[in-house]
Chains A and B, each alone.
Chain A
Amino acid sequence: MVKIFIERENKNVNTKAKDIEELIKKLNIIKEEIIVVKNNELTPRNEKLKDSDEVKFLSVISGG
Protein backbone atom coordinates (compact mmCIF):
# COMPACT_ATOMS: atom_id res chain seq x y z
CA MET A 1 0.00 0.00 0.00
CA VAL A 2 1.09 3.55 -0.80
CA LYS A 3 0.52 6.15 1.95
CA ILE A 4 -1.10 9.27 0.49
CA PHE A 5 -1.81 12.72 1.90
CA ILE A 6 -4.16 15.06 0.00
CA GLU A 7 -3.51 18.52 1.38
CA ARG A 8 -6.52 20.30 -0.13
CA GLU A 9 -8.87 17.89 1.66
CA ASN A 10 -6.54 17.39 4.67
CA LYS A 11 -7.05 13.67 4.14
CA ASN A 12 -4.83 10.57 4.49
CA VAL A 13 -5.51 7.55 2.24
CA ASN A 14 -3.82 4.16 1.81
CA THR A 15 -4.21 2.52 -1.58
CA LYS A 16 -2.43 0.60 -4.33
CA ALA A 17 -1.31 2.12 -7.62
CA LYS A 18 1.45 1.46 -10.14
CA ASP A 19 2.29 5.10 -10.75
CA ILE A 20 1.37 8.69 -9.81
CA GLU A 21 -0.83 9.15 -12.89
CA GLU A 22 -2.99 6.19 -11.80
CA LEU A 23 -3.31 7.66 -8.30
CA ILE A 24 -4.43 11.02 -9.70
CA LYS A 25 -7.21 9.32 -11.70
CA LYS A 26 -8.22 7.01 -8.87
CA LEU A 27 -8.50 9.81 -6.28
CA ASN A 28 -10.13 12.33 -8.70
CA ILE A 29 -7.39 14.87 -8.14
CA ILE A 30 -7.23 17.92 -10.43
CA LYS A 31 -3.67 17.67 -11.64
CA GLU A 32 -3.32 21.35 -12.62
CA GLU A 33 -3.85 22.35 -8.99
CA ILE A 34 -1.15 20.27 -7.32
CA ILE A 35 2.51 19.47 -7.05
CA VAL A 36 3.40 15.85 -6.25
CA VAL A 37 5.94 14.91 -3.60
CA LYS A 38 7.11 11.31 -3.22
CA ASN A 39 9.27 10.49 -0.19
CA ASN A 40 10.06 14.21 0.26
CA GLU A 41 11.13 14.71 -3.34
CA LEU A 42 9.23 16.58 -6.06
CA THR A 43 8.14 13.93 -8.51
CA PRO A 44 7.07 13.71 -12.16
CA ARG A 45 3.58 12.35 -12.94
CA ASN A 46 4.90 9.22 -14.68
CA GLU A 47 6.91 8.14 -11.62
CA LYS A 48 6.49 4.46 -10.67
CA LEU A 49 5.34 3.59 -7.15
CA LYS A 50 6.19 0.82 -4.71
CA ASP A 51 4.47 -0.33 -1.54
CA SER A 52 6.41 1.64 1.06
CA ASP A 53 6.19 4.98 -0.78
CA GLU A 54 4.69 8.09 0.80
CA VAL A 55 3.00 10.46 -1.64
CA LYS A 56 1.76 13.99 -0.88
CA PHE A 57 -0.52 15.94 -3.22
CA LEU A 58 0.24 19.53 -2.22
CA SER A 59 -1.63 22.60 -3.44
CA VAL A 60 0.16 25.11 -5.66
CA ILE A 61 1.02 28.21 -3.59
CA SER A 62 1.14 31.22 -5.85
CA GLY A 63 0.11 34.37 -4.01
CA GLY A 64 2.38 37.06 -2.74
Chain B
Amino acid sequence: MQYQRVRKLIDIETLKKKTVTIVGLGSLGSFTALLLAKNGVNLNLIDFDKVSIENLSSQIYSRKEVGKYKVKAIARYLKRLNKEIKINIQKEKLNSINLKLLDSDLVIDCTDNLDTRFLIDSYCYKKITWIHTASIKTFGLVYVVQNSLSDIYSSNVSEDLCDEHGILNTAASMTASIAATQAIKILLKKDYEKDLIRFNIWNNTFDKIKVKPLKKKEVNIIKLCRNNYSVNLHKQLDLNMLSKKNRTILKRDSLIIIFLKTQARKKLKNG
Protein backbone atom coordinates (compact mmCIF):
# COMPACT_ATOMS: atom_id res chain seq x y z
CA MET B 1 0.00 0.00 0.00
CA GLN B 2 2.78 2.44 0.84
CA TYR B 3 3.94 2.52 -2.81
CA GLN B 4 0.44 2.48 -4.35
CA ARG B 5 0.70 5.88 -6.05
CA VAL B 6 4.32 5.75 -7.09
CA ARG B 7 3.91 2.22 -8.53
CA LYS B 8 1.80 3.75 -11.30
CA LEU B 9 4.94 5.57 -12.50
CA ILE B 10 8.02 3.48 -11.65
CA ASP B 11 9.03 -0.14 -11.08
CA ILE B 12 9.36 -0.28 -7.29
CA GLU B 13 10.23 -4.01 -7.25
CA THR B 14 13.42 -3.28 -9.24
CA LEU B 15 14.32 -0.32 -7.02
CA LYS B 16 13.96 -2.50 -3.91
CA LYS B 17 16.82 -4.67 -5.22
CA LYS B 18 19.18 -1.70 -5.75
CA THR B 19 21.64 0.00 -3.41
CA VAL B 20 22.77 3.59 -3.81
CA THR B 21 25.80 5.05 -2.02
CA ILE B 22 25.45 8.64 -0.88
CA VAL B 23 28.70 10.37 0.07
CA GLY B 24 28.05 13.35 2.35
CA LEU B 25 24.86 13.68 4.43
CA GLY B 26 24.62 17.46 4.55
CA SER B 27 21.99 19.53 2.72
CA LEU B 28 22.12 17.59 -0.55
CA GLY B 29 22.76 14.15 0.92
CA SER B 30 20.05 14.28 3.58
CA PHE B 31 17.32 15.32 1.10
CA THR B 32 18.53 12.84 -1.55
CA ALA B 33 18.55 9.97 0.98
CA LEU B 34 15.02 10.88 2.08
CA LEU B 35 13.65 10.84 -1.49
CA LEU B 36 15.34 7.56 -2.44
CA ALA B 37 14.30 5.85 0.82
CA LYS B 38 10.68 6.82 0.18
CA ASN B 39 10.96 5.08 -3.21
CA GLY B 40 12.24 1.84 -1.69
CA VAL B 41 15.94 2.16 -2.61
CA ASN B 42 18.48 0.59 -0.20
CA LEU B 43 21.15 2.99 0.97
CA ASN B 44 24.84 2.98 1.79
CA LEU B 45 25.51 6.24 3.64
CA ILE B 46 29.01 7.70 4.16
CA ASP B 47 29.78 10.73 6.34
CA PHE B 48 32.20 11.34 9.23
CA ASP B 49 30.55 14.56 10.40
CA LYS B 50 28.23 15.30 13.32
CA VAL B 51 25.06 17.42 13.23
CA SER B 52 25.70 21.02 14.27
CA ILE B 53 23.25 23.78 15.10
CA GLU B 54 24.13 25.64 11.86
CA ASN B 55 22.96 22.61 9.83
CA LEU B 56 19.34 22.76 10.99
CA SER B 57 18.00 25.29 8.47
CA SER B 58 19.22 23.48 5.37
CA GLN B 59 19.42 19.81 6.41
CA ILE B 60 16.70 17.43 7.60
CA TYR B 61 18.07 17.00 11.14
CA SER B 62 16.30 18.20 14.26
CA ARG B 63 17.60 20.09 17.28
CA LYS B 64 17.72 16.98 19.46
CA GLU B 65 20.15 15.38 16.98
CA VAL B 66 22.80 18.10 17.35
CA GLY B 67 26.11 16.46 18.32
CA LYS B 68 25.11 13.04 16.91
CA TYR B 69 26.73 11.46 13.85
CA LYS B 70 24.76 12.41 10.72
CA VAL B 71 24.75 8.84 9.38
CA LYS B 72 23.27 7.53 12.65
CA ALA B 73 20.67 10.30 12.91
CA ILE B 74 19.50 9.93 9.32
CA ALA B 75 19.45 6.12 9.39
CA ARG B 76 17.15 6.25 12.41
CA TYR B 77 14.88 8.80 10.73
CA LEU B 78 14.69 6.91 7.42
CA LYS B 79 13.95 3.62 9.18
CA ARG B 80 10.95 5.29 10.79
CA LEU B 81 9.76 6.39 7.31
CA ASN B 82 10.35 3.09 5.54
CA LYS B 83 11.01 -0.11 7.48
CA GLU B 84 11.48 -2.15 4.31
CA ILE B 85 14.77 -0.66 3.10
CA LYS B 86 18.26 -1.74 4.13
CA ILE B 87 20.53 1.04 5.36
CA ASN B 88 24.26 0.58 5.75
CA ILE B 89 26.15 3.39 7.49
CA GLN B 90 29.85 4.28 7.26
CA LYS B 91 31.02 6.76 9.90
CA GLU B 92 34.18 7.53 7.94
CA LYS B 93 35.85 10.24 5.90
CA LEU B 94 36.39 9.01 2.36
CA ASN B 95 40.10 8.82 1.52
CA SER B 96 42.39 7.10 -0.96
CA ILE B 97 42.51 3.84 1.01
CA ASN B 98 38.83 3.25 1.84
CA LEU B 99 37.30 3.85 -1.60
CA LYS B 100 35.85 0.32 -1.67
CA LEU B 101 33.13 1.74 0.59
CA LEU B 102 31.65 3.14 -2.63
CA ASP B 103 30.86 -0.29 -4.10
CA SER B 104 27.14 -0.33 -4.99
CA ASP B 105 24.78 0.02 -7.97
CA LEU B 106 25.19 3.81 -8.14
CA VAL B 107 27.11 6.53 -6.27
CA ILE B 108 25.79 10.03 -5.58
CA ASP B 109 28.34 12.66 -4.61
CA CYS B 110 26.76 15.01 -2.09
CA THR B 111 30.09 16.19 -0.66
CA ASP B 112 31.18 19.80 -0.29
CA ASN B 113 34.67 19.74 -1.80
CA LEU B 114 36.39 18.91 -5.07
CA ASP B 115 39.13 16.77 -3.54
CA THR B 116 36.64 14.17 -2.30
CA ARG B 117 34.83 14.43 -5.64
CA PHE B 118 38.06 13.64 -7.50
CA LEU B 119 38.62 10.66 -5.18
CA ILE B 120 35.15 9.37 -6.11
CA ASP B 121 35.96 10.03 -9.78
CA SER B 122 39.21 8.06 -9.57
CA TYR B 123 37.41 5.01 -8.13
CA CYS B 124 34.20 5.12 -10.19
CA TYR B 125 35.86 5.97 -13.53
CA LYS B 126 34.46 3.51 -16.10
CA LYS B 127 33.40 1.18 -13.25
CA ILE B 128 30.42 2.58 -11.30
CA THR B 129 27.93 5.16 -12.59
CA TRP B 130 28.03 8.24 -10.39
CA ILE B 131 26.18 11.52 -10.08
CA HIS B 132 27.99 14.74 -9.20
CA THR B 133 25.81 17.22 -7.32
CA ALA B 134 26.59 20.59 -5.76
CA SER B 135 24.66 23.51 -4.30
CA ILE B 136 25.54 26.87 -2.81
CA LYS B 137 23.58 30.08 -2.17
CA THR B 138 20.58 29.76 -4.52
CA PHE B 139 22.38 27.60 -7.12
CA GLY B 140 22.28 23.89 -7.82
CA LEU B 141 24.09 21.53 -10.17
CA VAL B 142 23.53 17.89 -11.14
CA TYR B 143 25.60 15.91 -13.63
CA VAL B 144 25.70 12.18 -14.32
CA VAL B 145 29.41 11.88 -15.02
CA GLN B 146 29.74 10.50 -18.54
CA ASN B 147 33.52 10.30 -18.62
CA SER B 148 35.48 12.08 -15.89
CA LEU B 149 35.07 15.05 -13.55
CA SER B 150 38.17 16.50 -15.22
CA ASP B 151 35.88 17.33 -18.18
CA ILE B 152 34.38 20.08 -15.99
CA TYR B 153 37.02 21.18 -13.49
CA SER B 154 40.71 21.91 -13.92
CA SER B 155 43.24 21.05 -11.21
CA ASN B 156 43.52 24.60 -9.84
CA VAL B 157 39.88 25.65 -9.53
CA SER B 158 38.98 27.52 -6.36
CA GLU B 159 35.84 26.69 -4.37
CA ASP B 160 33.23 28.68 -2.46
CA LEU B 161 32.11 27.17 0.85
CA CYS B 162 28.56 27.01 2.26
CA ASP B 163 29.95 28.07 5.66
CA GLU B 164 30.98 31.35 4.09
CA HIS B 165 28.31 31.95 1.41
CA GLY B 166 25.30 30.08 2.81
CA ILE B 167 22.84 27.75 1.13
CA LEU B 168 19.09 28.11 0.64
CA ASN B 169 17.25 24.90 1.55
CA THR B 170 14.99 25.24 -1.49
CA ALA B 171 18.06 25.18 -3.76
CA ALA B 172 19.45 22.14 -1.91
CA SER B 173 16.16 20.22 -1.99
CA MET B 174 15.62 20.99 -5.70
CA THR B 175 19.13 19.76 -6.47
CA ALA B 176 18.39 16.61 -4.46
CA SER B 177 15.08 16.11 -6.32
CA ILE B 178 16.81 16.29 -9.71
CA ALA B 179 19.62 13.98 -8.54
CA ALA B 180 17.20 11.43 -7.07
CA THR B 181 15.12 11.45 -10.29
CA GLN B 182 18.25 10.89 -12.36
CA ALA B 183 19.24 8.06 -9.98
CA ILE B 184 15.84 6.34 -10.31
CA LYS B 185 16.03 6.58 -14.12
CA ILE B 186 19.54 5.09 -14.14
CA LEU B 187 18.58 2.25 -11.77
CA LEU B 188 15.56 1.43 -13.93
CA LYS B 189 17.68 1.62 -17.11
CA LYS B 190 15.56 4.47 -18.47
CA ASP B 191 16.87 7.30 -20.61
CA TYR B 192 18.31 10.02 -18.35
CA GLU B 193 19.63 13.56 -18.87
CA LYS B 194 23.25 13.44 -20.02
CA ASP B 195 23.92 17.18 -20.02
CA LEU B 196 25.01 19.08 -16.94
CA ILE B 197 21.95 20.60 -15.25
CA ARG B 198 22.53 23.92 -13.51
CA PHE B 199 19.96 26.32 -12.05
CA ASN B 200 19.46 29.39 -9.92
CA ILE B 201 16.21 28.96 -8.01
CA TRP B 202 16.15 32.63 -7.02
CA ASN B 203 15.68 33.96 -10.56
CA ASN B 204 14.31 30.77 -12.13
CA THR B 205 17.12 30.21 -14.61
CA PHE B 206 17.71 26.63 -15.70
CA ASP B 207 20.55 25.59 -18.02
CA LYS B 208 21.42 22.32 -19.69
CA ILE B 209 25.10 22.42 -20.60
CA LYS B 210 26.84 19.97 -22.93
CA VAL B 211 30.11 18.51 -21.62
CA LYS B 212 32.78 17.37 -24.07
CA PRO B 213 35.20 14.66 -22.86
CA LEU B 214 38.77 15.91 -22.52
CA LYS B 215 41.64 14.13 -24.21
CA LYS B 216 42.87 11.20 -22.07
CA LYS B 217 46.26 12.87 -21.51
CA GLU B 218 44.68 15.99 -19.96
CA VAL B 219 42.40 13.85 -17.75
CA ASN B 220 45.39 11.95 -16.37
CA ILE B 221 47.31 15.12 -15.53
CA ILE B 222 44.37 16.64 -13.64
CA LYS B 223 43.75 13.39 -11.74
CA LEU B 224 47.40 13.04 -10.80
CA CYS B 225 47.57 16.63 -9.54
CA ARG B 226 44.36 16.20 -7.54
CA ASN B 227 45.31 12.79 -6.14
CA ASN B 228 48.70 14.06 -5.09
CA TYR B 229 47.04 16.92 -3.27
CA SER B 230 44.63 14.53 -1.53
CA VAL B 231 47.44 12.22 -0.47
CA ASN B 232 49.34 15.17 0.97
CA LEU B 233 46.21 16.20 2.82
CA HIS B 234 45.83 12.71 4.32
CA LYS B 235 49.44 12.86 5.41
CA GLN B 236 48.71 15.95 7.46
CA LEU B 237 45.34 14.87 8.82
CA ASP B 238 45.06 11.12 9.06
CA LEU B 239 48.49 9.57 9.25
CA ASN B 240 48.47 8.97 12.99
CA MET B 241 45.07 7.32 12.82
CA LEU B 242 46.22 4.70 10.29
CA SER B 243 47.61 1.27 11.00
CA LYS B 244 51.35 0.74 10.39
CA LYS B 245 50.60 -1.30 7.25
CA ASN B 246 48.31 1.40 5.78
CA ARG B 247 50.83 4.14 6.63
CA THR B 248 53.46 2.26 4.60
CA ILE B 249 51.02 1.85 1.66
CA LEU B 250 50.11 5.53 1.76
CA LYS B 251 53.75 6.69 1.83
CA ARG B 252 54.61 4.37 -1.08
CA ASP B 253 51.58 5.52 -3.14
CA SER B 254 52.40 9.14 -2.44
CA LEU B 255 55.92 8.71 -3.82
CA ILE B 256 54.60 6.86 -6.90
CA ILE B 257 52.10 9.65 -7.57
CA ILE B 258 54.77 12.36 -7.29
CA PHE B 259 56.94 10.38 -9.74
CA LEU B 260 54.02 9.83 -12.19
CA LYS B 261 53.01 13.47 -11.98
CA THR B 262 56.55 14.60 -12.91
CA GLN B 263 56.66 12.10 -15.79
CA ALA B 264 53.21 13.16 -17.04
CA ARG B 265 54.20 16.84 -16.98
CA LYS B 266 57.40 16.07 -18.91
CA LYS B 267 55.40 14.12 -21.50
CA LEU B 268 52.88 16.92 -21.89
CA LYS B 269 55.68 19.47 -22.28
CA ASN B 270 57.34 17.36 -24.97
CA GLY B 271 53.98 16.80 -26.73
Known contacts A33-B158, A58-B198; A64/B133 CB under 8 A: yes
Render A22-43 as a binary contact track against B, CB cut-off 8 A, 1 for contact.
0000000010110101001110
B134→A41 contact, CB < 8 A? no
For residue A42, which residues in chain B have a CB less than 8 angstroms away from its CB?
A: 151-152, 196, 209-212
**Which of B109, B139, B207 is the one whose CB lies under 8 Å from A40?**
B207
Number of A-B pairs whose CB atoms are under 8 Å? 72
Which of B24, B153, B167, B198 gathers the greatest number of chain A CB atoms within 10 Å? B198
Interfacial residues of chain B within 166-224, with CB under 8 A of chain A in the complex? 167, 196, 198, 207-212
For A7, give the chain B residue with the smallest CB separation.
B200
B152→A35 contact, CB < 8 A? yes
For A58, give the chain B residue with the smallest CB separation.
B198
Interface size, B (range): 35 or more
B209→A62 contact, CB < 8 A? no
Interfacial residues of chain B within 100-144, with CB under 8 A of chain A in the complex? 109-114, 133-136, 139-141
A32→B157 contact, CB < 8 A? yes
Interfacial residues of chain B within 1-31, with CB under 8 A of chain A in the complex? 24, 26-29
B112→A63 contact, CB < 8 A? yes
Instruction: Say yes or no for B162: interface residue by CB 8 A criterion.
Output: yes
For residue A64, which residues in chain B have a CB less than 8 angstroms away from its CB?
A: 24, 26-29, 109-112, 133-135, 162
Which of A41, A62, A63 gathers the greatest number of chain B CB atoms within 10 Å? A63
Q: Distance in Å from the Cβ of B117 to the closest Cβ of chain A?
A: 8
For residue A58, which residues in chain B have a CB less than 8 angstroms away from its CB?
A: 198
A61→B140 contact, CB < 8 A? yes
Instruction: Say yes or no for B98: interface residue by CB 8 A criterion.
Output: no
Interfacial residues of chain A within 50-64, with CB under 8 A of chain B in the complex? 58-64
B135→A61 contact, CB < 8 A? yes
11 more A-B residue pairs beyond the given contacts A40-B207, A62-B134, with a C-beta to C-beta distance below 8 A: A33-B158, A40-B210, A42-B212, A60-B160, A61-B140, A62-B161, A63-B134, A63-B160, A64-B27, A64-B112, A64-B134
25 CB contacts below 8 A, A to B, read: A30-B158, A32-B158, A33-B158, A40-B207, A41-B209, A41-B212, A42-B151, A42-B196, A59-B160, A60-B157, A60-B159, A60-B160, A61-B141, A62-B112, A62-B134, A63-B112, A63-B134, A63-B135, A63-B136, A63-B161, A64-B27, A64-B28, A64-B109, A64-B133, A64-B162
